[in-house]
Structure 1
Amino acid sequence: MELPVSTIPGFVWATRFEPQSGASLRLPPDTHLEALLSQPGFLWLHLGLSDARVPHLLEGIQGLPSEAVQALTSRDAHATLSVSPEIVCGTIIDLQRGFDEMTSEIGWLHFAITDKMIITTRLHPLRSIDRARQALEKNSARVSGPMDVFSTLVIEFQRTVMAMAQEINDELNRIEDFVYENAERDERHRLAPARRSIVKLYRHLRTELALLRRAAASDDDEAPDGFQEIAQKLTERIEVVERDVFSLQERARLLHEDIDSRAQAETNRHLYILSLLTAFLMPPTLVTGFFGMNTENLPFAHTEGGTFFAGVLITLSIGAAWMLLRRARIL
């Protein structure tokens, strides 16, 4: 069976929502862009930036300002948010999705929202947007406008990050079990990837949270109707995730310090043993070095049993070293 060829560059999916009837319709890939934009209700168009023709397509959509086109085609790896009375556009963080598994790599979802449509673009497949599409198609009656789609995207991202945080928490639990049950095992190689994911995620979450707070505090005439309320609710949700990720960051940092302290203690113990061996062997080395000199009139050189007497001196020197270390409270 041959799949229909898309007439829209970078087409991933398109969904038509009709708020009055509460219905949603997945549009086929061979639908023309003019037909998509002329139908009633509002449209959610999702495109892949791997197609180099996408920027030209977006530039040809009437009513889509240049700042929205720039936001949708940007390759910047940081969160942005631009709010005006006519349009909301920017970039939000997400997590990439592989073909057969979920990954912890950071991905970026670009969006532009008007009163008639929401356009999203991405370079790599993302976790949250697929979950948001499935949730909206199952319960399309709750969708009254493009802002609801954006709100669902952020909510699903929150759930994705919470699931990822639980995975990292379980990994930290396993590392702690190894650390405290087997002090000789170094778990820093397992801890490093988790700390790297936490730090990257927390840094981008803080940026996105600051942008949402700024948008929620904007004046009524600076944003579309109802956007401040949605931004405020999304801010509260992201704050919950940000606190969870921050607690994971602190826990991973303390665990890393604990592993380092245990490794340092083990190193100090080895150095202590080596120092004791050096202290015990230094006097015998001095004795053997003395008797190994190629000089005349060495003691016991021509005495019967000289080797025995030299051995006694070595033993006495070890005993003297032991007594000195005991007196100095080193042993």
Structure 2
Amino acid sequence: MEESLRIRGKAGLAEQDQGTGKAFRPPFGAAGPGLIWAFDLGDHGARAIETCDAETSGFRWLHLSLAHQGSASWISRLEALPEDVREMMVASDSHQRAIVEGGAVGCVIHDFERDFERSDSSQVGVLRFALTPEMMITARLHPIRSADVVRQKLARGPGIEEPGDALDLLIGTVSEGIAAVVRELGLDVQRAEDAFLDGRHSPSTHGLIGIRRRLAMVNRMLDGLRAVFRRLEGDEDLPEAMLATVERLNQRIQALGADALGVQRQIHQLREEIDISVDQRTNQNLYVLSIMTALMLPATFVTGLFGMNTGGLPWAQAPHGTLLATLLALGTAGATYLFLRWMGFMRR
């Protein structure tokens, strides 16, 4: 059963397996929680379990769907979690935060949503988890990318003995997803810069705005994640065994923030280069227009003069008066051109 199983109906009893397309019915009744997958992670390695209350030989990991009506009530009755952590797990808020109480750690973090077989980096979902010395409980309302990856790693990896290992696996997986998006955005900026330098397919403002929008979303995710781990690192109630893991993850998140900031600087630099190029083209067009205006001004004066309906105009009675007036207009334009060139205004 994949993380991205679709829960159908309010009770959430019918889900669809992406690999087979067949309807899946959980092995528990309507009163039970919406268990998506679960593992017993003892010394023998990962062993899949079918119910939340199954007997285990070591650390257990439960992944629940909050779209299932029974998940919230099951969590609310779970005595292994402190009251504040239980309330955080079933709350409707979406801002990233952390709670440490009674040896348990509860967090709300953001991750990219998953739509069937595709990870959608344009949509951000909420992942809640509660960590105790005996178990990790993760819960989400919509399918989340990291949960699928964690499940695959647990299925083929060794067991988990310490809660810090579970935290490192989960946050490390979330960080890997964010890092992949940051790398993708960096490559998009590099391709746009190459196109700009080649001059054949200059990037559009709309394309850069799309990259900037996704990068802003990633920065907001990282800002919240940094705040969560600063809160954990400074909490005196955090179990000593988890402190080293929290510090290491905090440093990793800081490094991700630096990478995202580097991509942001690249976008700003490319945007400045594009603006400079546009300004240069505008100035060039204005320059050409100004020169043409200056060249035509004397000729316009001559044609305006000869167009007056007054007596005594030169060549009014001459048989070639129009030709002479035309030659005079061209001569004044040529004289203006030579004057501008002598003054140094004709750069090109």
Please state which band the TM-score falls in when normalised by the shorter chain: 0.7 to 0.9
Overall identity of the aligned pairs, in %: 30
Q: Paired residue for 1:249?
A: 264
Q: Paired residue for 2:113?
A: 96
Shift of 1:279: 1.9
1:162 counterpart letter in structure 2: A
Structure (1/2) with the larger helix percentage: 1
Partner secondary structure for residue 111 of structure 2: strand
Q: Is the 8 A contact 2:113 2:145 kept in 1?
A: yes
Partner secondary structure for residue 336 of structure 2: helix
Q: Paired residue for 1:140?
A: 158
Q: Which runs of 5+ in 2 are unaligned?
A: 1-21
Q: 1:15 to 1:184 in 2, by over 3 A?
A: closer
2: CA distance, partners of 1:9 / 1:299: 104
Shift of 1:2: 5.3
Residues 17-51 of structure 1: per-residue CA shift (max 9 Å, x gap)? 22xx33322233xx3x4x34x54433322223334
Residues 79-98 of structure 1: per-residue CA shift (max 9 Å, x gap)? 21122242111212322223
Partner secondary structure for residue 62 of structure 2: strand
Partner secondary structure for residue 129 of structure 2: strand
Partner secondary structure for residue 24 of structure 2: coil
* Matching of residue 12 in structure 1 with residue 30 in structure 2: no
1: CA distance, partners of 2:273 / 2:178: 26
Q: Paired residue for 1:223?
A: 238
* Matching of residue 3 in structure 1 with residue 27 in structure 2: no
- Runs of 4 or more consecutive aligned structure 1 residues displaced over 6 Å after TM superposition: none
Q: Paired residue for 2:302?
A: 287
Q: 1:81 to 1:269 in 2, by over 3 A?
A: same
Shift of 1:312: 1.0
Q: Paired residue for 2:276?
A: 261
* Matching of residue 304 in structure 1 with residue 322 in structure 2: no
2:96 counterpart letter in structure 1: A
- TM-score with structure 2 setting the length: 0.83
* Matching of residue 118 in structure 1 with residue 136 in structure 2: yes
What is the correspondence of 1:175-254 to structure 2 with a 5 Å cutoff? 175-182=192-199, 185-219=202-236, 222-254=237-269
The 10-residue stretch of structure 1 (304-313 or 97-106) with the greater mean CA deviation from structure 2: 97-106
Q: 1:27 to 1:299 in 2, by over 3 A?
A: farther
The 10-residue stretch of structure 1 (297-306 or 246-255) with the greater mean CA deviation from structure 2: 297-306
2: CA distance, partners of 1:215 / 1:204: 17
Q: Is the 8 A contact 1:178 1:187 kept in 2?
A: no
| C-alpha RMSD of the superposition | 2.4
Q: 1:118 to 1:279 in 2, by over 3 A?
A: same
* Matching of residue 328 in structure 1 with residue 346 in structure 2: no
Q: 1:186 to 1:320 in 2, by over 3 A?
A: farther
Q: 1:92 to 1:13 in 2, by over 3 A?
A: same
Shift of 1:231: 0.4
2: CA distance, partners of 1:294 / 1:123: 86
Q: 1:152 to 1:186 in 2, by over 3 A?
A: closer
Shift of 1:67: 2.3
Residues 228-279 of structure 1: per-residue CA shift (max 9 Å, x gap)? 1110111122222222112111112111111111122122212222222222
Q: Paired residue for 1:157?
A: 174
Q: 1:184 to 1:94 in 2, by over 3 A?
A: closer
Partner secondary structure for residue 319 of structure 2: coil
Q: Is the 8 A contact 2:208 2:267 kept in 1?
A: yes
Shift of 1:308: 0.6
Partner secondary structure for residue 130 of structure 2: strand
The 10-residue stretch of structure 1 (66-75 or 276-285) with the greater mean CA deviation from structure 2: 66-75
* Matching of residue 274 in structure 1 with residue 283 in structure 2: no
Q: Paired residue for 1:317?
A: 332
Residues 94-114 of structure 1: per-residue CA shift (max 9 Å, x gap)? 222232433322332111112
* Matching of residue 82 in structure 1 with residue 119 in structure 2: no
